Copies of this chain bind each other. A is one copy, B any other.
Amino acid sequence: MSDQETPQKFVYDFTEGNKDLKDLLGGKGANLAEMTNLGLPVPPGFTITTDACKVYLRSGAEPAALREQVGAHLDALQERMGKRLGQPGDPLLVSVRSGAKFSMPGMMDTVLNVGLSDACVEGLAAQAGDERFAWDSYRRLIQMFGATVLGVAAERFDDALEQAKAEAGAVNDVDLDAGHLRDLVAVYHDIVRLDAGRDFPQDPREQLDLAVRAVFDSWNTERAKLYRRQERIPGDLGTAVNICSMVFGNLGPDSGTGVAFTRDPASGQQGVYGDYLQNAQGEDVVAGIRNTVPLADLAGLDQKSYDELMSIMETLETHYRDLCDIEFTIERGTLWMLQTRVGKRTAAAAFRIATQLVDQGLIDEAEALQRVNGAQLAQLMFPRFADKVTADRLGRGIAASPGAAVGKAVFDSYTAVKWSRSGEKVILIRRETNPDDLNGMIAAEGILTSRGGKTSHAAVVARGMGKTCVCGAEELEVDTKRRRMTAPGGVVVEEGDTVSIDGSTGKVYLGEVPVVPSPVVEYFEGRTHAGADDAGELVKAVHRMMAYADRMRRLRVRANADNAEDAARARRFGAQGIGLCRTEHMFLGERRELVERLILADTDEERTASLEALLPQQRDDFVDLFEAMDGLPVTVRLLDPPLHEFLPDITELSVRVALAESREDSNENDLRLLQAVHRLHEQNPMLGLRGVRLGLVIPGLFTMQVRAIAEAAAARRAAGGDPRAEIMIPLVGTVQELELVRDEAEQVIAQVQKRHDVDLHLALGTMIELPRAALTAGQIAEAAEFFSFGTNDLTQTVWGFSRDDVEASFFTAYLEKGIFGVSPFETIDRDGVGALVERACREGRATRPDLKLGVCGEHGGDPESVHFFHAVGLDYVSCSPFRIPVARLEAGRAAAAGT
């Protein structure tokens, strides 16, 4: 089929499009067409499609048919307007604007006043009755066209303008009169000739064509490409170009320009909000030459236009069924709509507006859920610093986990716990944190580190806990030994000094900054917030939206929780069970020594003794946990620690031994320990003796844990409870590992069941956290009743980088270069990790149709990832307690969207 037979349509009049054609006409063009079709006063114009842009980008030339089609639409436009581009007596002027499907910084925005030339500028002056207006318009055209289309450096025009003002003794641009501006136009012509190597084009059609091509070219600026890489916007979408007849808000006091919102985008309150500037163009509002007035004042200036605007806004809101923002211009008493779109809003406003629209009958619950998102809810769950901060700023780090925290500086976990027990609020300050700091982190109001980035231990754990964290504040020097921190300029923070940290901005202050708790968290915690103020309205809206989500969602939401306290909190936040109890967290603190002994044991007796000491402690842990989650499933993962976390640091120990030797004061114990640590030292602990491997190599370890679980379940059952334990084997790579552990576990469970004469219904399953487990899921499902995807480890192995190591060294560079749009540890990497998850779900269920599927990695609480997990058919997601409301909301949104 040749082009001649059916020439492709590359140009759409505003009357031909509609809002659903964003792919073809871009966002701006589609909405202009929509308003035109609604009968609203839009200046006539047309849109060149993204298809035309794609042809240009592929071939380096506009499609053959484009010139003729633009010509035809231009003719029609000129006919309708009754004037022509470049017509000496009464020229038609147009604006040329880019308009991609997604708004994109770095792309060319706008050239106004296209069509003006030496030949018709006086005609415009005569028509407008305003010579200064005409020359100023011409001056602006040359300046914008020169800079964005012809590539002349913008400063060249700015410098000339400044010089003209200096020569005329003018302070502001408006002080230049028509004569000055005419002279300036001549100077601008010279600049273009010199710098672009050509004259400013006098042919209006040439102006138009060059401007269109410049818009096309701007699709591929470095900044636009970087933005697309980061936002994962495909590079081949292309942009549309809108050509719209000009209207002027700067033709006198009966003209003006404004922006407006159909409700308050800050609080979500109903009503009309906006600003108006008399006798001005859009760019003047930005330039801030004069102050705008509230939109309501327009009624006093031009009641007719005001009434028309109110009516239009109601039409738009009803039509778009959402908050709209608009741009408009009044030209000599006539109202023109220049743009509309669904308006941005704050998180609080999003929730309130969504419920308002449901009440108005404009949208249903499913639609309401599409109007908010989990990131907004998360934002609403953090406390904030109240007003303007007056405290001294000590420095700034990475905003790792939002919220506002105030407390006394402490430099180790022990002090954090001790002080917090005696009622002090503390901020834990460390160079960086590790799992041993966990208790201190729990005790602290917030965490501040001088090293590490957004995926450092401190950041990840704090986000998980919903605890404020500023990390990587490199200008702050933390001296743990001397218990103090030094800020630039020599300010020293000693232990006990009060500091305040803002996890939403990364700012660190000396002294106390007042904090307001999140009303949404107060609501989830059951401390309901009464009253009809903004906070009360917000809580009501959140409550309703959560109810919509819970009714709609298919995914269940469980919590990652390792103790009864976390479990109880998770339940208040809506958890439907525990998806991950990490038993290694139960082995920290005072039990750590027992584990160390177990690992270093030389004889069976030593090993057995350690295990027997651990058994009753583990059993008590589980009894508490099952009680807190009575009637709901609790998945207990058997021990999965990197070995080195339970052993002394090899470097520290080596130094100690060497120093002791040099003093001829060797400690026999240290020497033996060092030998053992050498023997067990791993180059890559993440890829070493962990999980099921440890269970198969240390006899009795897993069976001790299984026994503790089974006995705890039996005890709860005896006490009239309803324990629902599930036992999860970590780091399985091949079904043989699982079979061996399973055989042993089943024997132990049978023993306990027999002794207590009870059927415990303990399910046995496995983590899928190695690529091999995902690739052989069909085999593994033979031996597993459930899979839980450990997407943290899966991300590490699929990408071959470890969370602990890579962020400092190259993640920042990768985000900057756009290799990642977002860290794959935050949002699941659909193409890589996701492909494995999808395959494992499919093949696992092929083997065992009733296989239960869940996820317990950090991604379980990440909004975008929850949609993915819904789509691949998981039964549940599990995340840290604080993220549960977010996961519930997103699970509802995913179901509502039918994704």
Chain A residues packing against B (C-beta within 8 Å): 229, 650-651, 654-655, 658-659, 662-663, 680, 682-689, 693, 696-697, 731, 733-734, 736-737, 740, 769-772, 775-776, 779, 793, 796-802, 804-806, 809-810, 813-814, 817-819, 829, 831-833, 835-836
For the complex with contacts A683-B684, A693-B809, A769-B800, 8 further pairs of A-B residues with Cβ separation under 8 Å are A659-B662, A682-B805, A686-B687, A688-B806, A688-B809, A689-B805, A696-B810, A776-B831
Cα-based distance from A796 to B659 in the complex (angstroms): 38
| Minimum Cβ distance to chain B for residue A600 (Å) | 14
Of the candidates B659, B731, B804, B818, which one forms a contact with A684 in the assembled complex, judged by CB atoms under 8 Å apart? Answer: B804
9 closest cross-chain pairs (CB), A and B: A687-B802, A772-B832, A689-B809, A684-B684, A684-B802, A770-B800, A688-B805, A771-B771, A736-B819
Cα-based distance from A806 to B814 in the complex (angstroms): 31
**What B residues does A697 contact at CB under 8 A?**
809-810, 813
User: What are 15 of the A-B contact pairs (CB < 8 Å)?
Assistant: A651-B651, A658-B659, A682-B809, A686-B800, A688-B802, A693-B801, A696-B813, A696-B814, A697-B810, A733-B799, A771-B800, A772-B831, A772-B832, A772-B833, A797-B800
| Minimum Cβ distance to chain B for residue A722 (Å) | 36
**What B residues does A833 contact at CB under 8 A?**
772
Cα-based distance from A9 to B688 in the complex (angstroms): 52
Q: Is the CB of B798 within 8 A of A770?
A: yes
**What B residues does A687 contact at CB under 8 A?**
684, 686-687, 796, 800-802, 805-806
Chain copies in complex: 2
**What B residues does A806 contact at CB under 8 A?**
687-689, 693
Q: Is the CB of A800 within 8 A of B733?
A: yes
**What B residues does A685 contact at CB under 8 A?**
683-684, 805
Cα-based distance from A808 to B54 in the complex (angstroms): 58
Highest count of chain B CB atoms <10 Å: which of A229, A813, A832, A833:
A832
A810 touching B775 in the complex, CB below 8 Å, given contacts A229-B736, A655-B658, A797-B797: no
Cα-based distance from A835 to B685 in the complex (angstroms): 26
Q: Is the CB of B793 within 8 A of A770?
A: no
| Minimum Cβ distance to chain B for residue A437 (Å) | 16
Q: Is the CB of B804 within 8 A of A683?
A: yes
Highest count of chain B CB atoms <10 Å: which of A682, A687, A831:
A687
**What B residues does A805 contact at CB under 8 A?**
682-685, 687-689
User: Which chain B residue has the least Cβ–Cβ distance from A642?
Assistant: B683
Highest count of chain B CB atoms <10 Å: which of A685, A806, A813:
A806
Q: Is the CB of B740 within 8 A of A819?
A: yes
User: Which chain B residue has the least Cβ–Cβ distance from A679?
Assistant: B808
Cα-based distance from A809 to B684 in the complex (angstroms): 13
User: Which chain B residue has the least Cβ–Cβ distance from A829?
Assistant: B772
Cα-based distance from A723 to B797 in the complex (angstroms): 37
Cα-based distance from A810 to B690 in the complex (angstroms): 10
Q: Is the CB of A801 within 8 A of B662?
A: no
Cα-based distance from A809 to B818 in the complex (angstroms): 40
**What B residues does A771 contact at CB under 8 A?**
771, 797-800, 832, 836
| Minimum Cβ distance to chain B for residue A181 (Å) | 46
Cα-based distance from A801 to B734 in the complex (angstroms): 13
**What B residues does A655 contact at CB under 8 A?**
654-655, 658
Q: Is the CB of A819 within 8 A of B659?
A: no
**What B residues does A809 contact at CB under 8 A?**
680, 682, 688-689, 693, 697
**What B residues does A804 contact at CB under 8 A?**
683-684
Cα-based distance from A683 to B435 in the complex (angstroms): 14
A800 touching B731 in the complex, CB below 8 Å, given contacts A688-B809, A689-B805, A772-B829: yes
Cα-based distance from A736 to B816 in the complex (angstroms): 12
| Minimum Cβ distance to chain B for residue A75 (Å) | 43
**What B residues does A737 contact at CB under 8 A?**
819
Cα-based distance from A206 to B492 in the complex (angstroms): 94
Q: Is the CB of A736 within 8 A of B818?
A: yes
